[in-house]
Amino acid sequence: MTTLTLDNVSVSTKANVYFDGKCVSHSLVLADGRKCSVGVIMPGTLSFGTAAAEIMECSSGACEYRLAGTEEWVRSAAGEQFSVPANSKFDIRVTGEPYSYICHYA
């Protein structure tokens, strides 16, 4: 399921820019207090660390991801999601069109 809109949110207008602009996101606070971010990752391979657990929901494009401690790359496309544990790392690889996402923090 792809989230098409997020209603009643507070948006940080300052962009979070990572990896020389290869990943850009904005932080959101939902009406119920939950935090998430929406962003885009340009083609390439990036490595991220997590503090909180994350659910990465793809809204367009596709990626392959590899969780810390695994060797396998797994594909995730529009309408799909994957989970990353807290205090962990993951690699994400994007080819073709940019990967647009919503990152839900636990």
- Considering the domain boundaries, does residue 2 fall inside one? no
- Considering the domain boundaries, does residue 9 fall inside one? no
Mean pLDDT, the chain, rounded, equals 95
- Considering the domain boundaries, does residue 57 fall inside one? yes
- Considering the domain boundaries, does residue 7 fall inside one? no
The DSSP annotation for 82-102 comes to: EEE-TT-EEEEEE-SS-EEEE
Q: Which domain holds residue 20?
A: 14-105
pLDDT, tens digit (0-9, with 9 covering 90-100), for 76-106: 999 999 999 999 999 999 999 999 999 999 8
- Considering the domain boundaries, does residue 38 fall inside one? yes
CB within 8 Å of 99: residues ≥ 6 apart: 40, 41, 58, 60, 61, 62, 63, 92
Q: What is the pLDDT of residue 4?
A: 67
CATH number (domain holding residue 40): 2.60.120.10
- Considering the domain boundaries, does residue 5 fall inside one? no
- Considering the domain boundaries, does residue 44 fall inside one? yes
- Considering the domain boundaries, does residue 4 fall inside one? no
The count of domains in the chain is: 1
* pTM of structure: 0.92
Q: What is the pLDDT of residue 1?
A: 58
